[in-house]
Amino acid sequence: MFGINVEENMNTLFLQINNAAEGAEDMVGEETISIFQLIQDGGWYIMGPLAIFSVLAVYIFFERYFAIKKASKEDKGFMSTLKGHIQQGNFNEAKNVCAKNDTPMARMLEKGVSRIGKPIKEINASIENVGKLEVYNLERNLSTLATIAGAAPMIGFLGTVLGMIFTFHSMKISGNGVEISELSGGIMQAMVTTVAGLVIGIIAYIGYNTLVTKIDKLVNRLEAASMEFMDLLDEPGL
């Protein structure tokens, strides 16, 4: 008799466990949410600007990346050919060599060649002015990318704060109280904007530092070429 009762209790327990597991599986399936739905839940007034920031950041990164890559291309025989023409006194040929190379280095040295015969300080100043202008052009829109990197997380956090305010306001005006499921859902929706802002900010920050590193390397090459050119002008006979 006791054995039958124990067996019946065990069967009942196993049945309850199976029902609970099936119910949990149903709940998991019902709570599955897509990324698109999360974006919709974040609110257009926050997710809209963040979407614009994301598109703008990607555009600026790739546009500047390829522009810097093009500017960094170097003809290995450029400096040797330029030196040869200058040493032989063929300044017009030297200018033509520079004009054929569409790079910041060539434009900078072309300005120096056109000033040959004037004081060294004046030649050096003209080269530096062109170099600064070239670097300024390479850095175009980088400040916007840096602004996105800093502003996107703050806008996302603003959306979270507003979402929490709306959630607690709903709790306040609700006469019958708020269910835990409703409260957690509201908080989850509020946190979506912070996640979106952080993701966009991190991507923009990495992109900004990548471009700045490439520009720094190019600036070092321009400075080296400028010094080499000035040393060439200091040689006897020029």
26 shares its domain with 133:
no
CB atoms under 10 Å from CB of 186, counted, come to: 19
Contacts (Cβ under 8 Å, ≥6 apart) of 116: 86, 91, 123, 233, 238
What is d(CA 195, CA 215) in angstroms, rounded to the nearest whole number? 30
* CA–CA separation, 194 and 40 (whole Å): 14
In a domain? residue 238? no
* Cβ-based neighbours of 214, under 8 Å, separated by 6 or more: 65, 68, 69, 72
- The label of the residue with tokens 């069967």 reads 11
What pLDDT tens digit does each residue of the chain (238 aa) get?
434 454 554 455 445 445 544 544 444 444 454 545 555 555 567 888 899 999 999 999 999 999 999 988 877 788 888 888 888 888 888 888 888 888 899 899 888 888 888 888 888 899 999 999 999 999 999 999 999 999 999 998 888 888 777 777 666 676 566 566 656 666 776 788 888 899 999 999 999 999 999 999 999 999 988 898 888 887 655 5
How many Å is the maximal CA-CA distance in the chain?
A: 120
Q: Give the contacts of 208 (CB within 8 A, at least 6 positions apart).
A: 142, 145, 146, 149
Same domain assignment for residues 17 and 54: no
Identify whether residues 18 and 44 lie together within a single domain.
Answer: no
Is 115 found in the same domain as 13?
Answer: no
Predicted TM-score (pTM) of the model is: 0.74
Q: Is residue 9 located within the same domain as residue 104?
A: no
The pLDDT value given to residue 26 = 46
Is residue 114 within 8 A of residue 130, CB to CB? The reply is: no
Same domain, 1 and 119: no
Say yes or no: 117 and 4 in one domain: no
Q: Determine, yes or no, domain membership for 218.
A: yes
Mark whether 25 and 65 lie in a shared domain: no
Are residue 15 and residue 71 in the same domain, yes or no? no
Number of structural domains found in the chain: 2
Residues 41 and 90 in one domain: yes
Query: Do 162 and 213 share a domain, yes or no?
Result: yes
Q: Is 49 a domain residue?
A: yes
Written in H, E and C, the secondary structure of 152-219 is HHHHHHHHHHHHHHHHHHHHHHCCCCCCHHHHHHHHHHHHHHHHHHHHHHHHHHHHHHHHHHHHHHHH
Shared domain for 14 and 39, answered yes or no, is: no
DSSP 8-state secondary structure symbol assigned to residue 235: S
Structural domain boundaries, residue 154: 35-233
